Structure 1
Amino acid sequence: MERVQFQQEQMLDELKDLVDKKVFTVAETKQIMKQRSIHEATLVRRVAKKSDFLRYASYEMGLEHLRRKRVERLKIPKTPVTVSDFALVRRQFHIFERALKRFKSDVGLWIEYIQLAKKEGARSLVGRITARALQLHPNVPSLYILAASHELAHLSPSTARTLLQRGIRLNSSNVEMWTEYLKMELGFIESLRRRWDVLGITREGTGDSQNVKNIVSEKDQFTDVDMDEGTTTAGTVKARDAELERLDQEGDEGTAARKQILDGVIVKAVMDSAVQALPRIELFESFNRLITIYPSSPTLRGSLIEHFDALLRSTLPQHPRAIEILYTRLLTSASDVASQASSSSNPSVENLRGRALVEGVRRANEMLISIMSDTQEESVCQVYAQFALGWCQQDSRINLDENLKLYVLSSLQALIHRQKSSSPSLLCAHIKLVTEAAQRGTIEPAKALDTAKRYTSRVPESASVWIARLTAMKALDENIDAVWREARRSVSPKDEHFAHVWTWGISEDMVHDERLRVYEVLLNESVGDSSLQEHLLLGYVAALMVSRSTPISGDDSDQVANKSAKALNLQKLRHMQGRFLNTGKVWQKMFHLEAEENGSAIVLEEIYELWRTANVVEATIAWAEWLLKNGKGKEASVLIVRSKGSVGQKEQEEMETQWVRIMG
């Protein structure tokens, strides 16, 4: 009771102060009291909810925002700080403290509290909150990153470094932690460079890098932070300042250390440690994005990129995404490292012109061929195929020299011939490129077609190679019917593009009846393969419904024709039911297509009867939902009750659950 009375007195003091300053009226303060009483009542329930606390805090935030706006609008003169100037913010903090007593395990609540404290400029409070949060949740990287960013914003890089190192020790497999640590060190170098520029200190000299690495040694840094207070100790700050003063001094030792720092020895050490702890492509991709876009000096960026590429080559020499990073680098810069460092991290041919373009493509091509000589992994072959296609199909963005295209094309052809490669990726790329060359008149069309034929003979089971050959024949106006039949007979059912070969010759611009006829031919050929038949039947059903997509006019003859089309479609479907292996997916698609076209209840009911033999639960729910939406709720309820009597207990429970969801 005494605590409640004290809170009420405090509450009255702050509100009385607001009235005295004419920020709020007496009526408004009464309304504030009423709203607070309502929120307080929700918090004292036996089972309080997190949303109740957040709603209360949000109300107080809105109140504080309104107070500041009114003070600004009314131009209230500044006076010595009174209770109303900080009471509303303090109340927000108090609400979060109460919430965290009940929901200590909620990381999101901790983060919201930290962000509120940062917004209100409570620096020391942010340190204390993050320290408490990290003690409870030491394996949550986002908390370390938030804490470190706060320290950096207040010019305390040593504390930020310590926090991130501690986080890395406990979360060494987290890419984001390592990336933030690297970013922090890049920022530290940039701040030192600007400091020394202002002081007029040069960077020339040589020396041992070990002294520089000691600046961020883990032995020193892991003892910098008092986790109870969230701040650096005075002794650590003095030691850090003394180290910076030593680096500022002129002389061999200071000059050598400055040169090593500006050359990125600290960042390189972080890279080495990260790769040793987490040798994954995701880490390299994250580091690559950071070092290529971070606003560093060209010399530093060039040195870091060179070190990064060396690490990537030694750690993941044959990883496809690693190879892509390396060859992309060559295509976005000139041959020297400094120019390479100043290039964009996102490659585009606009970055290269003339001799630089030719040299970049040559170096990238030679690097890829060198890698290909050591392995014939399909994933690596895909990278080379991507390179070849990407740099021979750039006419829309740059007028790529025809000789350069022929150079890449001949390199690809020589690679296939030399390795006797059966890689579908390389063969498909070569077929596409020779076809485009034939269309441009660079080579004879017969030569392109002969190349495609030889490659399908080399790997007759590959669907992608057959598709490349068929596409080439279509582009060169060749008859594809016989080759398409051969492809369907030859391709392996285990190939992921197997079904695509079967439907390749069916196009949207075909006459409706012709498309249906082709589907029926394919269905007859595919008897015995249930998976392929289902795929073809789904396309067949969609083709049957195309004729329904035209709007119906008011003319009686059109309505009669539409009814006849419905009857014909159902007749064909019944024919399919007896002839082909239909599944629930086929009838499901037919039902939904018919429903989307505002089909009649008679037609939908007949489809439902066919569907329910394959999947009674899905069919019944779909039909009942349609009845409910069309004003036939009673019929839908009867349907559910009747269907539940013909299925097992598990199906009954599933049907009931879905029906309750629809009704709700």
Structure 2
Amino acid sequence: MERVQFQQEQMLAELKDLVQKGLFTQKEIKQIMQKRTAFETALVRRIPKKSDFLRYAAYEMGLEALRRKRVERLKQGPQPPSVSDFALVRRQFHIFERALKKFKNDVGLWTQYMQVAKREGARTLVGRISARALQLHPNVPALYILAAAHELEHLSPSSARALLQRGIRLNADSVEMWREYVKMELGFVESMRRRWGVLGIDVDEGTDKGKGKAREADVAGNERTAAKMGNEEIDKMEVDAKDEGEDGEAARREIMNGAIVRSVISSAVKALPQISLFTSLHELLATYPCPQSLRNALLDHLFALLHSTLPLDPSAIKLSATRALTPGLDGEALIDALKSANEQLAHAVRNRGEGHAGEALAVLYAEFVQEWCSKDIDESLKGYLITSLQLLAQRASPAPSPALLAATIRLLTSHHQALRMHLPPSGSTSEKVLRFARKHTAKDRTIARASAAVWLARLDAEWVLGSADGAQSAWDEARGAVEGEGLEHVWMWGVDRAEASDVRAEERVRILEVRALLGFTFMLGSRVRLAGLTRSREFAAKSTSTVPPAVVAVVDARAARVRHIAQGYLPSARVWQGVFAQEAAAAEQMAARSAPDALDRVLATVYEQWRQKDGVGATVEWARWLLAHGRALEAKDVVLRAGSWLASGDAREVERRWKMVVDAPESEE
């Protein structure tokens, strides 16, 4: 408490000054003192929390805002500065300093401190904070960007450039760092253009004739800049400009044409040849306010590097094709840009190779068409895009892409009525859309038939355009046909639709149970998931009775749970005994639902795991369950096989317990 008392003593002068100025009453000062004491007490405990410091700082910020409001309202006029004018702000800084001593590794806390200091106009303090933060966290790009932005706000581009270059040396793989560096150089070029415009230096002569209107748009800004500059400084700069001669003119022209920015972009691509960098720089260059000639030159340079660096990357091909589709396009410009982008992407998909890269390009084209069909554009454009997609999806060579087929089925399902006049005959009616979907999931379509995306699109089409029986039949067929990625979504499709339909309360409870178990199964990983679902299909095929799909799903989910327990934990024999009891109870419930012996496979799995921990107990319990369900021969085989892998003493113990189990009914009689 001595530290709390020390902090209280430091407050006396400022609180007394606040009362003398009439900004706070004695009662309010007492409340402030109580509040601060509570905050200080929380800060001196053995393990302080970051939230305590932040709450304290927020309280002081609110107190300072209230003080300023009251000063403004009282209108006391100019007064000599006193301790209360800066004490509350100083206390905010002091709280952050104390917090950073405890939480030096918290980058967010450093950022908040910088923002508070910047808001209070403490320029020098912001510089010191950023320097300390960068010293402790040299691999955090956000700190370099904040520090550089602070320097730019105070007209120090050289310091900002040095900070960003230092950050890039330490974080060359940061897209954000390179983007901000390019943005800073763009701002530098634009500021020089305005500055030379004020001086009357015509840097566009011979290279950008006819662009006088673009310069006229900046007249107002140039006049404001000239008003801020002294006449003597302008005269001096004019003399320097005249003395530079032809070399200076050529240098200015290169700068205005973006030579510095092009150099930075080239360095960025060399250090980080990734599509994320190209996407970020394209977004920056397309939206940054600069002359159109400069923007076009920089974009040409960027896409030239893109073509040479990532010539076969699907995302790079899409980015290059959609270059002209900038925000705000409409009318003929939008039509021309959309047509050009579609033709380039369609040509790339048509000439795509086999394998993952070719399918990835098809996926991107499908996403492109779906994205534009969801926008508010002319219906004829939507029909044009869907028709182009359908023609590509029906190509036999190379093999039809599942992504294109799935996208075509979905778009025809949702747009065939509204775009009837703009679609080909094969997709203009509900019957033809269903025929198209069924055709491409037939047994002779090997690739498309095994694709979950195509089947999900067909299932949605059957649900929307067909009948409930047709959708159920398609779902049954899909569960046996789909292989690989997305199999879980096919299984969940039917469960979701059943849950949404009008069913009885008991049936809804069962559906929710199946959904929960399936969700647990699909979280276990692709290997366990796919193996389990494959076994469930085999189980359904080998079953002597017709097992409902929901029961098959429950069996598969419970078996996957058992495998997950075995692989993810170290269960003891006692745990496996409890799991066996649970599964035996579940088997009884399944038998009551007209699904006898549905969980045999689950109990057998539990037995295989349990016997590794307790061979005697597991063998006896499994044999006892088989005997109780009229499967005496199987129970006898389990006991006999146990003798081959158990120790001699354990084998005799199994025989003794088994004899007791067999003799128990006779003794009861």
TM-score tier after normalising by the smaller chain length: 0.5 to 0.7
Q: Cα–Cα, structure 1 residues 503 and 454, in superposed 2: closer, same or farther, change >3 Å?
A: closer
Q: Give me the TM-score of the superposition, normalised by structure 2.
A: 0.62
1:379 matched to 2:360: yes
Residue 528 of structure 1 corresponds to 539
Q: Give me the TM-score of the superposition, normalised by structure 1.
A: 0.63
Match of 1:326 among 317, 320, 328: 320
Cα offset, 1:39, TM superposition: 4.0
Which residues of structure 1 form unaligned runs of 5+? 208-241, 333-342, 345-349, 542-569, 585-612, 614-664
Cα offset, 1:381, TM superposition: 1.6
- Alpha-carbon distance in structure 2 between the residues aligned to 1:98 and 1:506: 54
Residue 148 of structure 1 corresponds to 148
1:260 matched to 2:273: no
Cα offset, 1:19, TM superposition: 2.5
1:458 matched to 2:448: no
Cα offset, 1:580, TM superposition: 3.1
Residue 361 of structure 1 corresponds to 339
Question: Is the Cα contact below 8 Å between 1:437 and 1:443 reproduced in 2?
Answer: no
Paired residue type of 1:100:
L
Bigger shift: residues 424-433 or 133-142: 424-433
Residue 274 of structure 1 corresponds to 268
Matches within 5 A, 1:629-644: none
Cα offset, 1:33, TM superposition: 4.2
Other structure's SS at 1:383 match: helix
- Alpha-carbon distance in structure 2 between the residues aligned to 1:35 and 1:516: 58
Residue 496 of structure 1 corresponds to 486
Q: Cα–Cα, structure 1 residues 274 and 368, in superposed 2: closer, same or farther, change >3 Å?
A: farther
Cα offset, 1:575, TM superposition: 1.6
Q: Cα–Cα, structure 1 residues 10 and 46, in superposed 2: closer, same or farther, change >3 Å?
A: closer
Cα offset, 1:122, TM superposition: 0.6
Residue 159 of structure 2 corresponds to 159
Question: Is the Cα contact below 8 Å between 2:183 and 2:284 reproduced in 1?
Answer: yes
Match of 2:474 among 484, 487, 496: 484
1:575 matched to 2:593: yes
1:399 matched to 2:379: yes
Question: Is the Cα contact below 8 Å between 1:378 and 1:425 reproduced in 2?
Answer: yes
* Structure with bigger RCO (C-alpha 8 Å, 6+ apart): 1
Other structure's SS at 2:322 match: helix
Question: Is the Cα contact below 8 Å between 1:201 and 1:248 reproduced in 2?
Answer: no
- Alpha-carbon distance in structure 2 between the residues aligned to 1:315 and 1:243: 42
Residue 72 of structure 1 corresponds to 72
Cα offset, 1:378, TM superposition: 1.0
Residue 619 of structure 1 corresponds to none
Q: Cα–Cα, structure 1 residues 504 and 259, in superposed 2: closer, same or farther, change >3 Å?
A: farther
Note the alpha carbon deviations across 1:166-191, whole angstroms, 9 max, x for none.
11111222222222222222222222
Cα offset, 1:97, TM superposition: 2.5
Residue 307 of structure 1 corresponds to 301
Which residues of structure 2 form unaligned runs of 5+? 208-235, 515-532, 542-546, 556-587, 603-624, 626-669
Residue 107 of structure 2 corresponds to 107
Residue 181 of structure 1 corresponds to 181
- Alpha-carbon distance in structure 2 between the residues aligned to 1:454 and 1:149: 56
Question: Is the Cα contact below 8 Å between 1:372 and 1:381 reproduced in 2?
Answer: no
Residue 92 of structure 1 corresponds to 92
Paired residue type of 1:426:
L
Other structure's SS at 1:143 match: helix
Question: Is the Cα contact below 8 Å between 1:394 and 1:400 reproduced in 2?
Answer: no
1:420 matched to 2:403: no
Residue 408 of structure 1 corresponds to 388
Q: Cα–Cα, structure 1 residues 444 and 197, in superposed 2: closer, same or farther, change >3 Å?
A: same
Bigger shift: residues 197-206 or 376-385: 197-206
Question: Is the Cα contact below 8 Å between 1:467 and 1:504 reproduced in 2?
Answer: no
Paired residue type of 1:496:
G
- Alpha-carbon distance in structure 2 between the residues aligned to 1:361 and 1:143: 43
Note the alpha carbon deviations across 1:48-67, whole angstroms, 9 max, x for none.
44444334333332332222
Other structure's SS at 1:76 match: coil
Cα offset, 1:510, TM superposition: 6.8
- Alpha-carbon distance in structure 1 between the residues aligned to 2:540 and 2:261: 58
Other structure's SS at 1:351 match: coil
Paired residue type of 1:462:
S
Q: Cα–Cα, structure 1 residues 300 and 579, in superposed 2: closer, same or farther, change >3 Å?
A: farther
Cα offset, 1:529, TM superposition: 6.3
Note the alpha carbon deviations across 1:461-492, whole angstroms, 9 max, x for none.
33434455566677776995898389448614
Question: Is the Cα contact below 8 Å between 1:576 and 1:582 reproduced in 2?
Answer: no
Cα offset, 1:354, TM superposition: 4.3
Q: Cα–Cα, structure 1 residues 489 and 75, in superposed 2: closer, same or farther, change >3 Å?
A: closer
Match of 1:296 among 283, 290, 296: 290
Question: Is the Cα contact below 8 Å between 2:591 and 2:598 reproduced in 1?
Answer: no
Note the alpha carbon deviations across 1:520-551, whole angstroms, 9 max, x for none.
9x999946169xx998349899xxxxxxxxxx
Residue 628 of structure 1 corresponds to none
Percent identity, please.
46
Other structure's SS at 2:155 match: coil
- Alpha-carbon distance in structure 2 between the residues aligned to 1:476 and 1:57: 61
* CA-atom RMSD in angstroms: 4.8
Question: Is the Cα contact below 8 Å between 1:534 and 1:583 reproduced in 2?
Answer: no
- Alpha-carbon distance in structure 2 between the residues aligned to 1:82 and 1:130: 29
Paired residue type of 2:290:
S
Cα offset, 1:100, TM superposition: 2.7
1:443 matched to 2:425: yes
Cα offset, 1:96, TM superposition: 2.5
Q: Cα–Cα, structure 1 residues 496 and 186, in superposed 2: closer, same or farther, change >3 Å?
A: same
Note the alpha carbon deviations across 1:410-467, whole angstroms, 9 max, x for none.
75268x24x3324212344455678877965742579873796267423233343445
Note the alpha carbon deviations across 1:124-160, whole angstroms, 9 max, x for none.
1111111112112212222212211111111112111
- Alpha-carbon distance in structure 2 between the residues aligned to 1:355 and 1:299: 18
Size of the aligned set, in residue pairs, is 499
Paired residue type of 1:85:
D
- Alpha-carbon distance in structure 2 between the residues aligned to 1:288 and 1:56: 44
